[in-house]
A and B are shown apart, each in its own frame.
Chain A
Amino acid sequence: GDSVTQMEGPVTLSEEAFLTINCTYTATGYPSLFWYVQYPGEGLQLLLKATKADDKGSNKGFEATYRKETTSFHLEKGSVQVSDSAVYFCALIIQGAQKLVFGQGTRLTINP
């Protein structure tokens, strides 16, 4: 079946550090890929997306590239801020399917 695997958390970094959160997927069809972010006490917000191979999604300094050859969609940011502390979810949806499949989430804490 379709699934998403994220790197285990929690991840703790210092402000201005480089961030990578790994995400790999398995899919029976041709998926669109997403990163969602959940700030403390809130619902999920779409952070970025990519709908085909080699697409790069970007938003708020975050980037992720859809790599079909490695079935990956790793999230990166060059210089994190305290305000980036949140839980990050990688997800996929197969074209024409009805369900969004999530990874288990990665909790990120940025220390000043």
Chain B
Amino acid sequence: SQTIHQWPATLVQPVGSPLSLECTVEGTSNPNLYWYRQAAGRGLQLLFYSVGIGQISSEVPQNLSASRPQDRQFILSSKKLLLSDSGFYLCAWSVKGTLVYFGPGTRLTVL
């Protein structure tokens, strides 16, 4: 069966520090991968999605970037965090336009 892992589960970082959140998927090949952010009390915002290795589409211009170095690995990064980057970050995967499955999420607090 397929599973999706995210780490860390929680993270507290100072403003201006770098960020790296990792997501890996098991049990499937060539999935679509997604990064969503959920700010406190708000809905889901799609940040990035990827349909293959090295292929990244950005939905919202911002302080973040994403990379997909391997088929089942998706990384969210920042060189310098802002206060507004605080939120709940969710990685997700799907098989080409069918069901989308979510990871457990990473709660990021920028102080």
Mark B7-39 against chain A: 1 for CB-CB distance below 8 A, else 0.
000000000000000000000000010100000
Cβ–Cβ contact A45 & B102, under 8 A: yes
Task: Indicate whether A104 sits within 8 Å of B97 (C-beta atoms), given known contacts A43-B105, A44-B102, A98-B49.
Answer: no
CB atoms of B44 and A96 under 8 A apart: no
Picked from B43, B51, B103, the residue with its CB within 8 Å of the CB of A102 is: B43
Residue numbers in A under 8 Å from B77 (CB-CB): none
Q: Check A43 against B104 for contact (C-beta < 8 Å).
A: yes
Q: How far is the CB of B104 from chain A (nearest CB, A)?
A: 5
Task: Give the A interface residue count (CB, 8 A).
Answer: 23
Cβ of B90 within 8 Å of any chain A Cβ, yes or no, is yes
Q: A43-B102, A45-B102 are in contact. Are A97 and B97 (CB under 8 A)?
A: yes
Shortest Cβ gap from B15 to chain A (Å): 24
**B43 and A105 within 8 A (CB):** yes
Complex contact A105–B97 (CB within 8 A) = no
- With a cutoff of 8 Å between Cβ atoms, the chain A residues found around residue B103 in the complex are 43
Task: Determine if A93 and B100 form an interchain contact, defined as CB atoms under 8 angstroms apart.
Answer: yes
Provide the bound-state CA to CA distance between A100 and B99, in Å.
Answer: 9
Closest chain-A Cβ to B94's Cβ sits at a distance in Å of 7
Total A-B Cβ pairs within 8 A? 55
For the complex, give the distance between the alpha carbons of A42 and B106 in Å: 9
**Best-surrounded residue of B92, B102, B104 (most CB of chain A within 10 A):** B102
Residues of B within 8 A of A49 (CB): 99
Closest Cβ of chain B: how far from A84's Cβ, in Å?
19
Contacts of B98 in A (CB 8 A): 32, 93
Q: How far is the CA of A26 from the CA of B39 in the complex (A)?
A: 25
Flag A23-50 by CB within 8 Å of B: 1 or 0 each: 0000000001010100000111110010
Name the residue on A nearest B104 (C-beta): A43
Contact check: which of A34, A94, A99 meets B46 at CB < 8 Å? A99
Instruction: Let me know if B90 and A43 touch, CB within 8 A.
Output: yes
- Taking A93-B97, A97-B97 as given, write out 15 further A-B residue pairs in contact, using a Cβ cutoff of 8 Å, ordered by the A residue number: A34-B100, A43-B90, A43-B104, A44-B44, A44-B102, A45-B102, A49-B99, A89-B43, A89-B44, A98-B32, A98-B97, A99-B34, A100-B94, A102-B46, A104-B42
